[in-house]
A and B are shown apart, each in its own frame.
Chain A
């Protein structure tokens, strides 16, 4: 009997073309847009070689500064600067047409000057390098004034004293823009609540005609709703998987964890979404449109708080009001993806997963309890 209900509910869900279209279109379209717009931003923020123009120096000074600048490399070994020798009169052309990072005037080595058009990373690196030249100029003056300690001072100038130890940040994929993909998948999961909401609507006699028909049948009401919820969950899981396949399979986005865990999170997330809609469908006698508006709050505002529109939002909430991240379904799903990427399988991942399971059980139980002993004076 209940298997039959399950099969009919699957058929009913499949015929709800608008819901299916919405569930499929959303991850495919937005996934594509995110991939197009955000795919290369992180790569572009990496250290890249910039041009620097040297003007006004003697041959020896130019060669010395050129060797020093070309020797500065990032931790990956990329040279930070490519040096050209130019004429000071060409400064405007160099800065605004050739777009060199800066024009370095080395006519006086104790007072090197830098002309730039923009205040960006490369220009700041150049400024710090000039700081080292200026330090050496001060030390040279000191050595000239105190010949007894000249050797010691010269050693200090050439000594490479490593006082700062650089440590790389944790994480499999450190691209912060991948969090938009997490937020997108989280939103797709929470959107399954629309399918969950449809279950009580189709079984309550005072809301839909189908509900009226169902309520006069000799079927255990709770079992009917559970079978319907399972059918809705199955269909929505397929839709979520299509979104996941688009992101991981087609666009090859590195989500920072294995596909098995991604599937597990998506399944639990969809289950949570369905149970949320299921509970909301039961908790009050609000109209269908009011319940849909409340779900919109969960989906859109919850998505916003989880970082769908502004990637740092979840972090800000974590700093000032972490309790919201513990109960916002979108943030929980997002955090499961994120914690796997950054910390791996550990305490934080388990916390998210356990909370998702507990919330699913609580929502479904509340829904089932609220569906008991409904009687209608008039339909």
Chain B
């Protein structure tokens, strides 16, 4: 109990990094919720045209441009606030918006007169290197040319706009098909839940909290003078190690619980479902594995402050990037995935992906197991190295 109390007394000294990393985690959840989930383009059981985030400026304000703006607002995420050119360029570069659309003055008049060859065209700035912007332009061209053809074939403008919209309403003729398994069950390939996005980022912050704060406290017990005093006392070494491990686990679980509460709030109606609980279990397994990893890291012969900085930054970021935490597994190359398979983050992300696709506990059990095995292997190596170093002393 004395060691346990002492551990938390020392841990208090290292609370600043823990608070920084915890705040970063919360900020990550908020930002991802606001910018990824709210702009999410897919996840429906029924097909809907991809909702693209676009910035729109209407300098025309004609009836034609009004119909066009209404169409865009109905089927896409339109932002028509005024920003500086720099901000718009930044947003396009970071793929926060897919296109910057400007309807020039005089467009509607030329559209109605049929003199489109001389009129200013609608300008759509996209990154031509990626497919999203070009797809959007194809849709806009398709809608406008349909409206143009219907209007000039003799329809009223309102009728032409409605008809053009109807021909573009792909949910009328596109069906998403589920895969039929051998046992007769079906599996969707087209779902992504809020939890599937939010849970993905948490291992990074858990790792940063554990390595950036907890590791320093654990390492301080390895300081020569402290260790000598402990060795002189009647307290068994194994008891001390066990108490430290327990203390670390309690501290890590505190962060785990805090994040679970935050995730429950952000997941809304998805919280407390079977899938959500399995994702929480996945996170719990990962947290335990991270604490186990610390046993291995703690034996690296470097100064505590340096070691904790290196591990909390390099190892956490490295595991996150190679394991599919910051970049979805589907976007990682085969070479990276081959390396990632040796990391617990990869199996964590694989489990999240599988749960997101509707798989059950038995399907993800091996992924939980691999994470724990990784942790256990680190723990075993760490303990063996620690013992060898003690004997050498």
A contact set with B: CB distance below 8 Å? 18-19, 21-22, 25-26, 29-30, 33-34, 36-42, 44-48, 72, 74-76, 91-92, 95-96, 111-125, 127-132, 134-135, 138-139, 142, 146, 149, 152-153, 156-157, 159, 161-171, 174-176, 179, 289-290, 292-293, 296-297, 300-301, 304, 308-316, 318-319, 338, 342-343, 348
B170 & A131 in contact (Cβ 8 Å cutoff): yes
The distance in angstroms between the C-alpha atoms of A149 and B317, with both chains bound, is: 66
A316 & B164 in contact (Cβ 8 Å cutoff): no
B130 & A318 in contact (Cβ 8 Å cutoff): no
A135 & B164 in contact (Cβ 8 Å cutoff): yes
Checking B137, B204, B335 against A309 with a beta-carbon cut-off of 8 angstroms, the contacting residue is B204
B128 & A168 in contact (Cβ 8 Å cutoff): yes
The distance in angstroms between the C-alpha atoms of A37 and B331, with both chains bound, is: 9
21 A-B pairs with C-beta separation under 8 A: A26-B313, A34-B321, A45-B130, A46-B129, A47-B131, A48-B131, A96-B179, A116-B174, A117-B177, A128-B139, A128-B142, A131-B168, A135-B149, A164-B137, A167-B126, A296-B16, A296-B212, A300-B20, A310-B31, A315-B93, A315-B94
Q: Which residue of B lies closest to A313 (CB)?
A: B31
The distance in angstroms between the C-alpha atoms of A38 and B139, with both chains bound, is: 30
The distance in angstroms between the C-alpha atoms of A40 and B331, with both chains bound, is: 8
The number of chain B residues touching the other chain, given as a range, is 35 or more
Top 5 A-B pairs, shortest CB-CB distance = A127-B170, A165-B121, A37-B321, A293-B16, A45-B130
Residues of B close to A29: CB separation below 8 A: 314, 318
Q: Which of B47-55, B237-245, B255-263, B275-283 contacts A (4 or more CB under 8 A)?
A: B47-55
Residues of A close to B41: CB separation below 8 A: 119
Shortest Cβ gap from A110 to chain B (Å):
11
Most chain B beta-carbon contacts within 10 A, residue among A124, A301, A343: A124
Most chain B beta-carbon contacts within 10 A, residue among A161, A175, A304: A161
> Does B146 make an interface contact (CB < 8 A)?
yes
B302 & A138 in contact (Cβ 8 Å cutoff): no
A131 & B146 in contact (Cβ 8 Å cutoff): yes
What 1/0 mask marks residues of chain B from 119 to 130 whose CB sits below 8 Å from any chain A CB? 001111111111
A30 & B314 in contact (Cβ 8 Å cutoff): yes
Shortest Cβ gap from B200 to chain A (Å):
12
Residues of A close to B143: CB separation below 8 A: 131
Residues of B close to A166: CB separation below 8 A: 124, 126, 128, 133-134, 137
Shortest Cβ gap from B91 to chain A (Å):
6
Residues of A close to B48: CB separation below 8 A: 119
A176 & B93 in contact (Cβ 8 Å cutoff): yes
A125 & B31 in contact (Cβ 8 Å cutoff): no
Checking B28, B150, B168, B322 against A128 with a beta-carbon cut-off of 8 angstroms, the contacting residue is B168
> Does B189 make an interface contact (CB < 8 A)?
yes
Most chain A beta-carbon contacts within 10 A, residue among B48, B92, B127, B314: B127
Interface SS of chain A: helix
Q: Which of B226-234, B303-311, B347-355, B370-378 contacts A (4 or more CB under 8 A)?
A: B303-311
Count the A-B residue pairs with Cβ separation under 8 angstroms: how many?
305
The distance in angstroms between the C-alpha atoms of A167 and B137, with both chains bound, is: 10
Q: Which residue of B lies closest to A39 (CB)?
A: B333
The distance in angstroms between the C-alpha atoms of A178 and B86, with both chains bound, is: 18
Residues of B close to A156: CB separation below 8 A: 148-149, 152-153
Shortest Cβ gap from A309 to chain B (Å):
7
> Does B384 make an interface contact (CB < 8 A)?
no
Residues of A close to B235: CB separation below 8 A: none
Residues of A close to B154: CB separation below 8 A: 142, 146, 149
The distance in angstroms between the C-alpha atoms of A91 and B336, with both chains bound, is: 33
> Does B250 make an interface contact (CB < 8 A)?
no
A149 & B153 in contact (Cβ 8 Å cutoff): yes
Residues of B close to A120: CB separation below 8 A: 42
Residues of B close to A42: CB separation below 8 A: 129-130
A30 & B138 in contact (Cβ 8 Å cutoff): no
Residues of A close to B176: CB separation below 8 A: 116-119
Most chain A beta-carbon contacts within 10 A, residue among B93, B126, B326: B93
Checking A36, A113, A164, A289 against B124 with a beta-carbon cut-off of 8 angstroms, the contacting residue is A164
Residues of B close to A111: CB separation below 8 A: 173
Most chain B beta-carbon contacts within 10 A, residue among A30, A42, A153, A300: A300
Given the interface pairs A29-B318, A132-B146, the reply to whether A121 lies near B89 with Cβ below 8 Å is no
Residues of B close to A40: CB separation below 8 A: 333
B94 & A289 in contact (Cβ 8 Å cutoff): no
Residues of A close to B322: CB separation below 8 A: 33, 36-37
Shortest Cβ gap from A47 to chain B (Å):
5
B314 & A25 in contact (Cβ 8 Å cutoff): yes
The distance in angstroms between the C-alpha atoms of A161 and B107, with both chains bound, is: 13
Residues of A close to B134: CB separation below 8 A: 47, 74-75, 166
Checking A138, A153, A314 against B167 with a beta-carbon cut-off of 8 angstroms, the contacting residue is A138
Shortest Cβ gap from A190 to chain B (Å):
12
The distance in angstroms between the C-alpha atoms of A30 and B310, with both chains bound, is: 11
A118 & B190 in contact (Cβ 8 Å cutoff): yes
Most chain B beta-carbon contacts within 10 A, residue among A91, A167, A170, A301: A167
B131 & A37 in contact (Cβ 8 Å cutoff): no
B310 & A25 in contact (Cβ 8 Å cutoff): yes
> Does B6 make an interface contact (CB < 8 A)?
no
Q: Which residue of A lies closest to B188 (CB)?
A: A117
> Does B44 make an interface contact (CB < 8 A)?
yes
> Does B327 make an interface contact (CB < 8 A)?
yes
Q: Which residue of B lies closest to A126 (CB)?
A: B174
Shortest Cβ gap from B139 to chain A (Å):
5
Checking B49, B83, B149 against A157 with a beta-carbon cut-off of 8 angstroms, the contacting residue is B149
